[in-house]
Chains A and B, each alone.
Chain A
């Protein structure tokens, strides 16, 4: 790898994160000039109640950093400084919980679901797409195009609702919501692992079903043009086995753009999953975001948005570094 490239790519990553943070800071303060966090704090302080003490502390801490007596740029730099230390502040709705901690609790759930469902749908969809475009596959496989297209056009969470109804409510095969049954104690044992697996089947299935269509169609497009290449005809003329031609000559070459697409569409996959989690009340980041929106917990909303952008930025950067290893034609050297 070329160090100049790595440095440049890292600078771009920082730029994206900075831009996202700035949007997070300035958009609420633009236009109406009101600061939703301040308003919500005001409401909390006025409504009083048992947790008055905590609220006052929050208001004080907030005033010290983002008080109206401070000029905007000081507030802005305080905000950036906090982010740099990954300090996302207190949750407005669940004081004294800190936003960072809430996200930390939800993150493993989201990562697990995302990883499994993306791997399954990517490999399965790529294989299906390749088979659909292969001229010598059985006719019923070639007919898969229509269901693949239909599935790719339907949003994940709508499919999730349908699955939930059929498999969860009518056939009672899977639990309806949550990450594990209420009453079970989370722990590192087999029972709990199976419980979690059972609960995550439906959300995973709804992501997989919808995403298989997307990956299948992409792979099919690449395969169709690869199959028309001269080297495929040459391999056929040489009398190579069908299997060898399919795997070594066609799939291998058609696969690379598919991997590039994985990096580009990651953002969409995550956005889709946010909504799937809401549908299944799955205890991940998406549900946390939904609850924060419902309780106008602006620090939590900002925190979740920032963490999602940060993690996707990180992964995209890592994938950019990985390409040259997969495809010798890309070298990052100009």
Chain B
């Protein structure tokens, strides 16, 4: 309770974190509560009258194939967030592993990891993902989608975590622990890791945000799970069936509004966590 109060107190000083967390919480709640209120079956094609403008019966209208868009949002938002968290989690996990090994051990292994990361960062990852996703297109599922995206989401975390580890490694308390006879693993786990927690949280949010961006990009090109009503697939269907020109504004504007909320929320949380991790920036931002 005491902790919660001091956290809320901190949020007043760091409004970005507060507002961002609030936006994400609202989106997640929307999915959880919405699930209880609507029938998820309505997110499937041919479940209701197609091409209806928003009305009391269909708050967000319906699309060409007869999906109720409110239900699509309720079902699709959590799916998209799940892909993001899965891919971002795997990416951050790899990033932590490689970043700590590279930064703490140094030497040849560091040269190899750093070289690989710097090289891969200049490669347009979305384009590589397109080539991978187009070959597994028929059998792609939510989880496979997350894995495909995760395969290229570890470089940025690796790079930044390595840089942090490099500065922490020279701190007096780490030297002290070394003199006391702790082995490398213990030092990483007990000394470095806890001190990097806020920083890792910021990296995680960044990775999730990147993963969602990449996922939506792939899906908007038609490379997502065809039978799942995710946010990106909804945009793909809207583009493919020219919702815009046919005046079906609700079909594309509603998913965009939700995605803008999601991206701005994630961005604010990342910026807020950055501030928490580097108090020196506090004045700056």
Chain A interface (Cβ < 8 Å from any Cβ of B)? 12, 15-16, 20, 23-24, 27-28, 31, 36, 149-150, 152-155, 157-158, 161-162, 164-165, 169, 176, 221, 224-225, 263-264, 266-268, 270-271, 274-275, 278-279, 289-290, 293-294, 298, 301-302, 305, 308-309, 312-313, 316
* A149-B267, A152-B267 as given contacts; A27 in contact with B130, CB under 8 Å: no
Q: CB within 8 A of B256: which of A31, A162, A294?
A: A162
A-binding segment of B43-51, B74-82, B131-139: B131-139
B249, CB-defined interface residue at 8 Å: yes
B260, CB-defined interface residue at 8 Å: yes
Q: Compute how far the CA of A290 lies from the CA of B222 in the bound complex, rounded to whole angstroms.
A: 8
* Minimal Cβ-Cβ distance residue in B for A305: B131
Q: Compute how far the CA of A99 lies from the CA of B121 in the bound complex, rounded to whole angstroms.
A: 27
- Shortest distance in angstroms between B255's beta carbon and chain A's nearest beta carbon? 9
Q: Compute how far the CA of A85 lies from the CA of B125 in the bound complex, rounded to whole angstroms.
A: 25
Contact residues in B for A224 (Cβ distance below 8 Å):
284
Contact residues in B for A20 (Cβ distance below 8 Å):
123, 128
* Minimal Cβ-Cβ distance residue in B for A162: B256
* Minimal Cβ-Cβ distance residue in A for B212: A155
Give the residue among B122, B126, B130, B260 with the most A Cβ atoms within 10 A: B122
CB–CB A289/B221 < 8 A: yes
Chain B interface (Cβ < 8 Å from any Cβ of A)? 119, 121-128, 130-132, 134-136, 213, 216-217, 220-223, 235, 239, 244-245, 247, 249, 252-253, 256, 259-260, 263-264, 266-268, 271, 284
CB–CB A293/B260 < 8 A: no
Could you give 28 example pairs across A and B, Cβ below 8 Å?
A20-B123, A27-B131, A27-B135, A31-B136, A149-B268, A153-B267, A158-B260, A161-B253, A165-B249, A165-B252, A169-B244, A176-B245, A266-B122, A267-B125, A268-B124, A271-B124, A274-B126, A274-B217, A278-B220, A278-B221, A293-B130, A293-B134, A293-B223, A294-B222, A301-B130, A305-B130, A309-B127, A312-B122
Contact residues in B for A169 (Cβ distance below 8 Å):
244-245, 247
Q: CB within 8 A of A150: which of B124, B252, B264?
A: B264
Contact residues in B for A15 (Cβ distance below 8 Å):
119
Q: Compute how far the CA of A12 lies from the CA of B119 in the bound complex, rounded to whole angstroms.
A: 8
- Shortest distance in angstroms between B98's beta carbon and chain A's nearest beta carbon? 18
- Shortest distance in angstroms between A275's beta carbon and chain B's nearest beta carbon? 6
Q: CB within 8 A of A23: which of B128, B216, B263, B268?
A: B128
CB–CB B131/A24 < 8 A: yes
Q: Compute how far the CA of A224 lies from the CA of B235 in the bound complex, rounded to whole angstroms.
A: 38
CB–CB A271/B131 < 8 A: no
- Beyond the given pairs A169-B244, A270-B127, A275-B220, 11 more chain A to chain B contacts, judged by CB atoms under 8 angstroms and listed by A's residue number, are A27-B131, A36-B135, A154-B264, A155-B216, A155-B217, A267-B123, A271-B124, A278-B239, A293-B130, A298-B134, A305-B130
* Minimal Cβ-Cβ distance residue in B for A17: B123
Q: Compute how far the CA of A267 lies from the CA of B256 in the bound complex, rounded to whole angstroms.
A: 24
Contact residues in B for A298 (Cβ distance below 8 Å):
134-135
Contact residues in A for B260 (Cβ distance below 8 Å):
153-154, 158
Q: Compute how far the CA of A16 lies from the CA of B223 in the bound complex, rounded to whole angstroms.
A: 25
- Shortest distance in angstroms between A267's beta carbon and chain B's nearest beta carbon? 4
* Minimal Cβ-Cβ distance residue in A for B266: A153
CB–CB A316/B217 < 8 A: no
* Minimal Cβ-Cβ distance residue in B for A269: B124
Q: Compute how far the CA of A157 lies from the CA of B127 in the bound complex, rounded to whole angstroms.
A: 16
* Minimal Cβ-Cβ distance residue in B for A223: B284
Q: Compute how far the CA of A158 lies from the CA of B252 in the bound complex, rounded to whole angstroms.
A: 9
* A155-B217, A278-B220 as given contacts; A301 in contact with B264, CB under 8 Å: no
Contact residues in B for A155 (Cβ distance below 8 Å):
213, 216-217, 259, 263
CB–CB B264/A153 < 8 A: yes
Q: Compute how far the CA of A27 lies from the CA of B151 in the bound complex, rounded to whole angstroms.
A: 13
- Shortest distance in angstroms between B201's beta carbon and chain A's nearest beta carbon? 18
Contact residues in B for A149 (Cβ distance below 8 Å):
267-268, 271
Q: CB within 8 A of A313: which of B122, B221, B239, B268?
A: B122
Contact residues in A for B132 (Cβ distance below 8 Å):
23, 27
Q: Compute how far the CA of A221 lies from the CA of B283 in the bound complex, rounded to whole angstroms.
A: 11
- Shortest distance in angstroms between A202's beta carbon and chain B's nearest beta carbon? 12
